[in-house]
Chains A and B, each alone.
Chain A
Amino acid sequence: MTYRITPGNLIYHTLIGLEAAVVENTNPDMVGISGVVVDETRNTLVVNSQLAHLFCYERSSERLFPGPGRDGRDCGGDDPSHSLSHDKVIPKSQTTFIFSLPDGIRVRVDGRLLVARPEDRIAKRHRNRNN
């Protein structure tokens, strides 16, 4: 099982589980929001600042899939910080994001490139990429 998110295919790949930060937005209050992408819709990304420890990349990439997800369970627990109140909904279209990939590369992406339903984004065409 190899999945590789590179700066080249980032805009086609699953954004969920990546760390993201808002660098520019038409709403100044949203600039500076950062955290893990938790969910995605056509026009928005949901970012949670408290759940980062749940998505532990390094170990997850080594794990073979059908085995029980032990490490996922280890970092779980009944921590109250998992409440929905830390979810921030960010519109894609007016935002510039910086995503940090599992291997440490940071990619700056214009949110307009991401506007599409997650399942449609793969086949979408782009004239100029902004990576």
Chain B
Amino acid sequence: MTRRQKKKWIKEIARQQIERLFELAEMVSRTRPLLSDRYIHLAKRIGMRNRVRIPTHLKRRMCKHCGKYLIPGRTCRVRLNGTCVVVTCLACDKQTRYPYHRRQNPSNDRIKHQNRTP
């Protein structure tokens, strides 16, 4: 195996592990919630160590602040306020915002912004 191929293989394994760990976290979330937090933590560490991104849909299931596994309705509150999805972690009470209204024409916006600040 060439070096590049090997690296690819490692990343593939890491990606699989992350998905697997999130799935396991889901399975134990009801009976052993602390254990699912532990799995999330491991997934995060594997992602960091091997430089693999955690897919967005999985990333949104962990608290950015305390690392808790988030289950809408059970461990987090999800609300819309017109501009953002606001996710409140019920363990640490902190909020994470995911904006969903993109600006109509971002290039226009940038020009305006440049004009304003000379």
Residues of A near any B CB (own CB < 8 A): 1-4, 9, 12-14, 16-17, 38-40, 51, 54-56, 60, 63, 65-66, 69, 72-73, 76-77, 79, 82, 118-120, 122-123
Contacts and interface: CB of A to CB of B under 8 A. Distances in A.
A119 B45 contact: yes
A72 B30 contact: yes
Contacts of A16: 20-21, 24, 39, 42
Contacts of A79: 31
21 contacts: A1-B19, A3-B20, A12-B10, A13-B13, A13-B16, A13-B17, A13-B20, A14-B20, A14-B21, A39-B35, A55-B28, A65-B57, A69-B27, A69-B29, A72-B26, A72-B30, A77-B31, A118-B45, A118-B46, A119-B45, A119-B50
User: Size range of the interface on B?
Assistant: 20 to 34
Interface of B: 10, 13-14, 16-17, 19-24, 26-32, 35, 38-39, 42, 45-46, 48-50, 57-58
B20 A17 contact: yes
